[in-house]
Structure 1
Amino acid sequence: MRRYHCPSCQQGIYFDNTACLSCGAELGFDPAGGFLLLDGDTARACANRAIIGCNWVAAGPDGRCLSCAHTAILPNLSVGGNAEKWARLEQAKRAVILMLDRLGLPLADAAGAPAPVFEFKADPPGPNAPRVLTGHENGTITLNIAEADDAERARIREEMHEPYRTLPGHFRHEVAHHYWDVLTGADPRRLDTLRAVFGDDRQDYGASLAAHYAEGPPADWAERYISAYASSHPWEDFAETWAHVLHVLEGLETAQAFGLIAGSGLPEGGLRAMAAVPMEQLARAWIDLSIALNAVNQAMGHDTFYPFVLSPAIIEKMETVRRLIIEGGQNA
């Protein structure tokens, strides 16, 4: 994430700001140009600003911004707490949509409609009603809005024995499934490359997940997979790896913007310039940064900042994803 400044007074502002805390100017974020002064004419607020505090500018005829236009289904907003959960989901989604846009990855289908699209759903009432499962199918990403509740997300993380579970992480993981389809569809040779690295995705997905939950990951999973879940099926290995490539790129760009990795030798020409750097070099800078931030978090009594180990085999997989992102951003 880059650093931003108020277009009126040049004071520093944050990505989620709706107004400058220094001069009071009403602001709207334009993915193509950064923050603008809202004037109701050339820069109009997203139609969802009053409901969920969306701070982006309107982009389409329905008055929604680029990010909100990717949301197809909302939870019942008459139910207490659902509007707040929707707002948290959209907040995380805006950062991911911006990153995908800056990387040059396609955000529309062949007909020009937003893609992927998101469905934010709540579990139906009743203890025996089927739960909403987070997942992806044919360009549609479904998220259970319960994930927007910090306590519920922590409960699930402990239940699933996960070291890390965040809203940005969910979005980064789920969009990976979409881009597997989109980017291999644009160039079938990419599918052969991904299968050579991650395994044959034609193996039965449901059976693979069932075996994973029944038997657990292989004993040596940490040498070859970024997470235990990644070992369940090639699609999940790819999605977990993709998510961590985005973690690393977002984290390094943010650290660079605040002067935390001045000696890393990484380019300062924007996100695509950083994404063009080989993963081995990115990983060295990321490991140095994460070791320091892990120690800072420990000193402050917080959870580990980045509780993952990037083995050589994992870095090779991340390099495959990085190259796919660069190629897909240019040619898809």
Structure 2
Amino acid sequence: MKTFHCQFCGHPVFFENVSCLQCESALAFLPDRLNIAAIEPVAGDGQELWRPRVRGRKAAPARYRRCGNHAQNGCNFAVPANDPNAFCVACRLSRTIPDLSQPENPGRWVKVETAKRRLFYTLAKLGLVATCPPDGAADGPQFDFLADLPGQPVMTGHAAGLITINVAEADDDERVRRRLQMHEPYRTLLGHFRHESGHYYWDRLIDEGGRTEAFRQVFGDEQQDYAQALQAHYERGGTTEGWQDRFVSQYATAHPWEDWAETWAHYLHMVDLLETAASYNMRLTVPGQDLEVEDVVNPLETGQPDFDVLVEQWVPLTLLVNSLNRSLGQEDAYPFALSPGALEKLRYVHDVICETRSASRSQGAQPQQGASATPVKKAA
């Protein structure tokens, strides 16, 4: 994700910040602008309204409210004053939240909502969700955030537009335990969101988008029995000989749907990290080589980024990230090596997203799927 700056004093701020450490201005993320803004209160018809605060410029006419979850989980997304929904465009995607009377759940809820807002940002920059859906509607996948109960384990997954996340994944120790148990080199909370969103967008962009035949030519036939494929995957210990030649991960070998979701998540990793590097005006030189990479491209700002350029810059960037991690005694942040077969699948995801992005812009960025906003409910 790119770096942000307080629009009042210019100090760097992060995506999750609710106040500027330099000038102490209140901060909010404005989804309609996809940017962080310093804000100040303004009187308004019995509502607590805010407006952007910019030094040396006339006050902006735009008015916002804080998200209805601001006090509970620190959500820093703003809601346009004329939006009838109490919740921001990201929070209204949460159909069910965990039971906050359980002592471990409030902290988990904060973490899963933070990861979901990061996912929303990337999807919005790619033109895959509407930042201002009409009449307080929700656009994009719905989420159930659930915790295990005795005899009732929660499985993270996707079904018919609804993504379920086991909030235990917000616990570092539990997530590491599962990563080791499942023989996964990479397992993060944000990674779960990106993977499961891939299943949602397979329905939207591939199945409903009339791309199934093209998909099968790249990923294989998704009509094979999904439950049997997963069972076979786990019976062989989650490993497949020679998987590196065609897949981004071992889990991707389980079924074409999982191959797509893993590749989709990988693409989101790629564009997000490249945007971060671009926002720092990075130029990369691989040690031992004279070739200098040009300024890193921000794929979330470029209308039709060239896939070959993204890959050309991605490889040395991941080498740098891993080297920095090792310098701090940490494991590789990016424990993958992309083969030509895996890159072919990433290119397909890239092309589908670019086609969708172009269509979204030509249609005035209308929502992919309009839906009435669902009240946030609590669950165990």
Provide the TM-score with structure 1 as the length reference: 0.93
Q: How does 1:168-207 map to 2 (within 5 A)?
A: 168-188=190-210, 190-207=211-228
Post-superposition offset of 1:199: 0.6
Partner Cα distance (1:64, 1:38) in 2: 19
Taking the aligned partners of 2:159 and 2:97, their CA distance within structure 1 comes to 17
Query: For residue 329 of structure 2, what is the aligned residue in structure 1?
Result: 301
Is 1:328 the counterpart of 2:377? The answer is: no
Partner of 2:373: none
Q: 1:155 to 1:65 in 2, by over 3 A?
A: same
| Counterpart check, 1:273 vs 2:302 | yes
Structure 1: gaps of 5 or more residues: none
Question: Is it true that 1:43 corresponds to 2:72 in the alignment?
Answer: no
Structure-2 change in CA distance of 1:22 and 1:290 (3 Å): same
Could you tell me how far 1:317 is from its partner in structure 2?
Answer: 0.6
Q: Does residue 103 of structure 1 match 2:132?
A: no
For residue 134 of structure 1, report the CA deviation from its aligned partner.
0.3
**Aligned residue-pair number:** 327
Structure 2: how far apart are the matches of 1:267 and 1:162?
29
Shift of 1:35: 2.0
* 8 Å contact from structure 2 (residues 97, 146) kept in 1: yes
Aligned pairs (5 A) from 1:129-144: 129-144=151-166
1:157–1:164 CA contact under 8 A, matched in 2:
yes
Secondary structure at the counterpart of residue 141 of structure 1: strand
Which residue is 1:122 aligned to?
147
Q: Is the 8 A contact 1:38 1:44 kept in 2?
A: no
1:60-112 deviations in Å (ceiling 9; x for gaps): 42321111011100110000020110100010110110110111114599995
For residues 184 and 299 of structure 2, what CA distance do their matches in structure 1 show? 32
For 1:22 and 1:10, the matched residues in 2 are separated by 9
Aligned counterpart, 2:112: 89
Q: Is the 1:107–1:114 contact (alpha carbons within 8 Å) kept by the matching residues of 2?
A: yes
Whether 1:254 and 2:282 are equivalent positions in the alignment is no
Match of 1:17 in 2: 17
C-alpha distance in 2 between matches for 1:61 and 1:230 = 41
After superposing on structure 2, the runs of 4+ consecutive aligned residues of structure 1 that deviate more than 4 Å are 107-112, 266-270
User: Which structure's residues are more often strand, by fraction?
Assistant: 2
Residue identity opposite 1:52 in structure 2: N
Partner of 1:35, secondary structure, is strand
1:311 and 2:330 matched: no
Q: 1:291 aligns with which of 294, 319, 330?
A: 319
Query: 1:178 and 1:222 mapped to 2: Cα distance?
Result: 25
Q: Which has the larger radius of gyration?
A: 2
Report how far residue 20 of structure 1 moved: 0.4
Identity, % of aligned positions: 40
TM-score, length basis structure 2 = 0.82
Indicate conservation of the 8 Å contact 2:296/2:313, yes or no. no
CA distance in 1, matches of 2:299, 2:262: 24
Deviation at 1:272, TM superposition (A): 4.5
RMSD: 2.0
Is residue 212 from structure 1 mapped to residue 233 from structure 2 by the alignment?
Answer: yes
Given that 1:209 and 1:233 are in contact with CA atoms closer than 8 Å, whether structure 2 keeps it comes out as yes
Report the Cα distance in structure 2 between the residues aligned to 1:61 and 1:71, rounded to whole angstroms: 17
CA separation in 2, counterparts of 1:169 and 1:105?
A: 18
Alpha carbons 2:274, 2:296 under 8 Å: kept = no
Higher RCO (C-alpha under 8 Å, 6+ residues apart): 2
The one-letter code sitting in structure 1 at the alignment partner of 2:72 is I
Quick one: distance in 1 between partners of 2:262 and 2:230?
Answer: 14
Amino acid at match of 2:342: I
Contact kept? 1:38, 1:45, Cα under 8 Å: no
Tell me if the contact between 1:73 and 1:119 (Cα under 8 Å) persists in the aligned partners.
Answer: yes
Residues 280 and 315 of structure 1 are in contact (CA less than 8 Å); yes or no, is this contact kept in structure 2?
Answer: no
Q: Following TM superposition, by how much is the alpha carbon of 1:295 offset from its aligned partner in structure 2, in angstroms?
A: 1.4
Cα separation, 2, equivalents of 1:239 and 1:31: 26
Q: Distance in 2 between matches of 1:219 and 1:25?
A: 55
Take 1:303 and 1:260, find their aligned partners in 2: how far apart are those partners?
A: 23
Q: Compare the two structures and name the one with the higher helix fraction.
A: 1
> Is the 2:299–2:305 Cα contact (8 Å) retained in structure 1?
no
Hey, what's the Cα distance between the residues in 2 that align with 1:142 and 1:107? 21
1:324 and 1:207 map into 2 onto residues whose CA distance is 28
